[in-house]
Structure 1
Amino acid sequence: MKTSKTAAESGINLEIIFVGRSNVGKSSLLKELFGAKVRVGKRPGVTLRPTHAQVSDLLITDMPGFGFMSGVKERKQDIVKDKTVHYIEENSERIKIGVLVIDGPAFPEIVDRWDSREQIPIDVEMFDFLREIGIDTIVAANKMDRVKENEFDPLLDEVAIRLGLEPPWQNWKHLIAPISAKKGDLKALKGLLRDRLHEIKRDDLFKYV
């Protein structure tokens, strides 16, 4: 697998982007999923520009984490967010799949905290943005290994509600993938990625997912 800090444009026909709040395990997920040698930071949000990996004519992109970044000024955080939006808009034709990675257990509380300040949570804003510009979106609810079995479905119902989706969450299994990057449990996400690739007649890329 070729990796680069700037997009290797030659021969790229499609792209999968991974977006999410800082410290949701996005880079670790990519490493587990693709074996990509992406940088995994010790502090939230250390990746300040897109990191790319290329296989065949597919570009896999780890977008900078948005929201809180340790040691990064608020203005710079806003710049990173704006650049992320600009990158997605600029490359929307080749971006076939967008994976929004969230911290599943913490997500409802985070959204409610933003709502209490009458602000749109950045995760929800990104979810709506990706769908509005026509990018097929998957929500990877990470860190689900921390959730007790009897709390699993109720939590995912709350996740669906915060995303503006009518529960039960099982109605949205084509969109919500409960995973644990730490435990290597990525079955739900891999299944949805393969479904999307099959829909665009790219079964040849299954070997990379």
Structure 2
Amino acid sequence: MDSFDTRPDRDAEVVLVGRSNVGKSTLMREITGHRFDTGGKPGVTRSPNHYDWTAQDFVITDLPGFGFMSGVEGDRREQIKTAIVQYLETHADKILVGVLVLDGKSAVDIIDRHSGPDEIPYDVEMYHFLRDLDIPTVVAVNKMDKVDDRDERLDDLCDRLGLLPPWKQWQDTIAPIKAKNGQIDALNEAVRTHLHEQQRDDLFQFF
């Protein structure tokens, strides 16, 4: 198992979680200004990427993608998911904000495809898991440049996450972004709201 215990000793953390290939590494690069390996194929990030500022007691972590990855066996996928869950549980009291990154174009379809009597879709499960850990959660809905019916799509997503539409009343939770184009203001605003509630305005400089 790739190492999940490389976390710098920091008391404040923001984590990015999400399926493979939703643009987490691109978003991480936008936030930090630092390049990480972004692969053309899903599942390139196999262990957490941490980025910390030595002068600050703060780290941003990009956790590996979960869910289906072409070319990655089911057992391995489960191992990664288990490791992510354990990481979040272990560090929950230090995580100021959890950012669940979704692909705006495909998220609703993927959720619907995996919704059944015995099945909770990964994205919905992860959203509620973060909330259950009392981690303030922002859903970064990425790749919105590929979405035509924007409001309708975001309303549908709220519905699947158990938030009553319209999405615009959830702007501390739902943040439509285009990470590749550097358009992440909605995410920064939402993250700042949660940082402010925890008296951490000193971290605004990063968002």
- Output the TM-score relative to the length of structure 2: 0.93
**What's the C-alpha RMSD, in Å, of the aligned pairs?**
1.4
Supply the AA of the counterpart residue of 1:57: D
1:1-209 aligned at under 5 Å gives the runs 6-9=6-9, 12-55=10-53, 56-116=56-116, 118-148=118-148, 151-209=149-207
The Cα shift of 1:8 comes to 1.9
Q: What is the CA-CA distance between 1:116 and the residue it aligns to? A: 4.8
| Counterpart-to-counterpart distance in 2, 1:206 and 1:115 | 37
Alpha-carbon deviation of 1:79?
Answer: 0.3
Write the deviation string for residues 56-91 of structure 1: whole angstroms up to 9, x where unpaired. 111110001001123211100000000000011011
Q: Counterparts of 1:15 and 1:75 in 2: how far apart (Å)?
A: 29
Offset at 1:36?
Answer: 2.9
Unpaired runs of 5+ in structure 1?
none
Structure 2: where are the runs of 5+ without partners? none
SS of structure 2 residue aligned to 1:139: strand
Quote how far apart the aligned CAs of 1:173 are: 1.2
Q: C-alpha distance in 1, partners of 2:13/2:8?
A: 12
Counterpart-to-counterpart distance in 2, 1:106 and 1:71: 20
How far, CA to CA, are the matches of 1:36 and 1:199 in structure 2? Answer: 27
Contact residue 46 and residue 69 of structure 1 kept, 8 A:
no
Runs of 4+ in structure 1 over 4 Å off: none
d(CA) in 2 for partners of 1:134 and 1:189? 19
Decide whether the 8 Å contact of 2:101 with 2:139 is kept in 1.
Answer: yes
Q: CA deviation at 1:152?
A: 1.0
Q: Is the 8 A contact 1:105 1:146 kept in 2?
A: yes
SS of 1:92's partner is helix
Shift of the alpha carbon at 1:18?
0.2
How far apart in 1 are the matches of 2:45 and 2:173? 26
For residues 145 and 11 of structure 2, the distance between their equivalents in structure 1, rounded to whole angstroms, comes to 35
Task: Name the SS for the 1:18 alignment partner.
Answer: strand
State the secondary structure of the residue aligned to 2:138. Answer: strand
CA distance in 2 between counterparts of 1:25 and 1:200 reads 27
Letter in 1 for 2:62: D
Task: State the AA in 1 paired with 2:36.
Answer: V
Q: Distance in 1 between matches of 2:157 and 2:198?
A: 28
**Would you say how many aligned residue pairs link Structure 1 and Structure 2?**
201
Deviations for 1:79-117, whole angstroms, at most 9, x for unmatched residues?
000000001101111011100000012111101100157
Identity %: 47
Distance 1:62 1:21, change over 3 A: same
